[in-house]
A and B are shown apart, each in its own frame.
Chain A
């Protein structure tokens, strides 16, 4: 009964947010002279098999990005720099993998580690600036995102070669590729072989957060930095560790695609995953399962929006409005629910106090 109420409250916020976002999106469409009915028809149609695969692939990448952001968020550390960390890490990894220092899958494993290291290193700059110079990580990670774009572009020009309109790094040796998993025989796209990376990271995040001392320290710092300090947490060290960890997970984001599809780093690399990951983390309340749900919702919305232009004559950009509104609504809804839950609990405590206590009553 009580757990049921808790679960109900936890779900109320995101469901409410989705409904409100749907209404606002419809209003925007009407205002722009588009037909909401056609929009919903396209959006709510059951996805084709090909789209289902795309949704899973996109969601797995978003999930990794969401996890990376959530690690920081859980201790009130705002790593807005997942985008830059992912970019730097993917480039470094692609370059490293193409050198084929190691044979076969050893190369794959080593590359994944290198990607994590590179992501962590890029995030580490922000961590160091925060710890030694008191620079807000919000500003520094945003600046580092912009710097990453230019830096990687410069390095790509140095080591890459031109291929049509784009510049790409050398191709990763085929022995290290991770073949896709064919879910539907009629689908032209396959599921990323490295989807399990996202699953592993999710499990790891959950265990780390809820079962380990480190996770406790992390959450304690997020709840109350001052209380954490008094309890013996070295907050500076925690800032560095969690920022490095966050960057390391950000480094994983590009791996499924690198080893499954592209096999190199090109100047057409998918952008915006880092920012979407922040949204996904907020949507899922930085909870391992919540982020998964958030990633699936975002991936579903993006994928279903693709044919909007052809089928309904509506710009697919509308879906960015929906996604943004969902995030804002959900954070507001979580706050409202939190206050409501506090009230309920205070009432419960008061009731318990009314009842005769276990030992002698001193005074009120």
Chain B
């Protein structure tokens, strides 16, 4: 056996691990020591290779080189069950839950041997839930749970399997500040009982608040490991990106008094007849960015889709430049100058298997330069796709490349470029910089600010409170399908926003 240098065997040691995907090196020479019974944070910007490393540690993917030791013993994981056997559990950022199954079924899946799938398992789940104050009912369907509860189901899944090493992939990304505090309580409790936590994040204040050790990942490799006490947040940020962090602050106001979008008394019901959006009133002027803050799943998606025309409101009016467009379809609204950066670019923004120049036409099927009359203008579309690639710095070998082959950031830049084409009057930007690296993020912010200066009205939905505060001219908070608060971005703090987003402010004492 190899001789380990540390006195007590590290809970997890990663030595020289590398992983290549076709043409891309996701990880190379990653080295990491996690002490048992600590919270170890792994920080790095989007695309730095954190997720790949996590998937390797959890056996979802196999490394091409290097070795991994768990408790001093070399391991080779070929599937998550190998990782689970070695006491590793993972809480995914995108919850891995089956909506149509109960909490119980989701938890015992794959671990049926432990306590069966019946009453013994039910008792065990109640026990864990009570021990950590999770407040979960084993027989509830997961689809009826909120975001925080779902995350607790994920953690419960890990605990149920008796994991001692718990990996949490950006667990705070979907939570509001108050929920983050509750999560951190849970994590401290877990640590005090001897568990080891590997915490992935790019939110540096949170990392400094919870971690015992911090390892920085940049461009696929580990840069350094530090103690939180030894570095400032600023130093950490520079380690992470290798240079100064951009910030989304907006300079002087460009808001005019010309109304571009007006929404009155809007109500949307879902297919089951439940009201998911009600009493929405908002106005956006030319040159104004209106930010919508809210916990995901509180009606933002429906609001966007109602404005774009993808869902029919049950009640209310949508006006574009004083014209009632409530009965218009998406196409007609787009024609009259609405650009749309969708939340999920793979589902709503791109034809993944079509070349970029065809993607240029998407959403502009009735407008020049890509279309003339009923005919597709291939030459025009190609020239304009080329322009977008150039102006928005989309890294691609050419416009005949399929959208799927590009990285997420470059896909997003292409979408932004496309939606800014033809001088839109209104831009609906849903999480415009999600999953994008820092460079592309700064570029996208610049483009939005530039268009705003020229009189573009923007409806901005984001989970990134810094982005919202930095870019917006005014802010609204959405909760349970209603607008519950208005703020001035110049004066509001993330804590105030967080309180309003959870209803702690308006609905009195709740969590």
Q: Which residues of A contact B (CB under 8 A)?
A: 210-217, 219-220, 223-224, 226-227, 229-234, 342-353, 357-359, 361-364
B121 nearest CB across to chain A (Å): 36
**Are B396 and A223 neighbours in the complex by a CB distance under 8 Å?**
no
A212 to B375, CA, bound (A): 4
Residue of B nearest to A352 (CB): B397
A214 to B376 alpha-carbon distance, docked (Å): 9
A232 and B330 form a contact (CB under 8 A): yes
Quick check: A358 and B390 within 8 Å, CB to CB? yes
CA gap between A212 and B370 in the complex, in Å: 11
Partner of B330, one of A230, A347, A359, A364: A230
Contact B375 A224 (CB under 8 A): no
User: Is A224 within 8 A of B397, CB to CB?
Assistant: no
Residues of B within 8 A of A227 (CB): 347-351, 362
Asked if B342 is at the interface of the complex by the 8 Å CB criterion, the answer is: yes
Note all chain A residues with C-beta closer than 8 A to B330: 229-233
A349 and B331 within 8 A (CB): no
The smallest beta-carbon distance between A219 and chain B, in angstroms, is 8
Q: Which residue of A lies closest to B365 (CB)?
A: A213
User: Residues of A contacting B241 with CB < 8 Å?
Assistant: 363
The answer to whether A342 touches B405, judged by C-beta atoms less than 8 angstroms apart, is yes
Instruction: Please name all residues of chain A whose beta carbon is closer than 8 Å to the beta carbon of B442 when the two chains form the complex.
Output: 362
Asked if residues A226 and B397 are in contact (CB atoms below 8 Å), the reply is no
Which of B19-27, B159-167, B226-234, B467-475 contacts the other chain? Answer: B19-27
Q: A213-B365, A227-B349, A230-B349 are in contact. Are A348 and B397 (CB under 8 A)?
A: yes
| Cross-chain contact of B365 among A217, A343, A344, A357 (Cβ < 8 A) | A217
Within 8 A of A (CB), among B37-71: 45, 47
**A231 and B363 form a contact (CB under 8 A):** yes
Main secondary structure of the interface of A (DSSP, over half): helix
A357 to B410, CA, bound (A): 13
Instruction: Select one of A210, A214, A352 contacting B374, CB under 8 A.
Output: A214
Q: Which residues of B contact A224 (CB under 8 A)?
A: 347, 350-352
Q: Is the CB of B23 within 8 A of A349?
A: yes
Are B342 and A230 within 8 A (Cβ)?
Answer: yes
A5 nearest CB across to chain B (Å): 13
B-side contacts of A212, CB under 8 Å:
374-376
- Whether the pair B23, A350 counts as a contact (CB closer than 8 A) is yes
Q: Would you list 29 pairs from A and B whose C-beta atoms are within 8 A, ordered by A residue?
A: A211-B376, A212-B374, A213-B371, A224-B347, A224-B350, A224-B352, A226-B348, A227-B347, A227-B348, A227-B350, A227-B351, A227-B362, A229-B348, A230-B342, A231-B330, A232-B329, A232-B331, A232-B333, A233-B330, A342-B405, A343-B22, A346-B24, A350-B24, A351-B23, A353-B395, A361-B439, A362-B438, A363-B243, A363-B437
Using known A-B contacts A230-B349, A234-B329, A350-B22, determine if residue A223 contacts B340 with beta carbons closer than 8 Å.
no
CA distance A233 to B308 in the complex (A): 12
CB distance from B158 to the nearest CB of A (A): 32
A211 to B393 alpha-carbon distance, docked (Å): 29
Docked pose: A211 CA to B351 CA in angstroms: 17
A351 to B398, CA, bound (A): 12
B401 interface hit (Cβ, 8 Å): yes
If A216-B376, A230-B330 are given as contacts, then 5 extra A-B residue pairs at C-beta distance below 8 Å, sorted by A number, are: A230-B308, A231-B331, A231-B334, A349-B396, A362-B440
Assuming the A-B contacts A213-B374, A214-B374, A362-B439, are A229 and B395 also in contact, with contact meaning beta carbons closer than 8 angstroms in the complex?
no
User: In this assembly, does B283 line the interface, its C-beta being within 8 Å of a C-beta of chain A?
Assistant: no
Residue of A nearest to B310 (CB): A229
Q: A215-B376, A234-B329, A363-B241 are in contact. Are A351 and B365 (CB under 8 A)?
A: no
B384 to chain A, nearest CB (A): 15
Tell me how far the C-beta of A51 lies from the nearest C-beta in chain B, rounded to whole angstroms.
40
Q: Are B351 and A223 in contact (CB under 8 A)?
A: yes
Q: Which among A210, A348, A362 has the highest number of chain B CB atoms within 10 Å?
A: A362
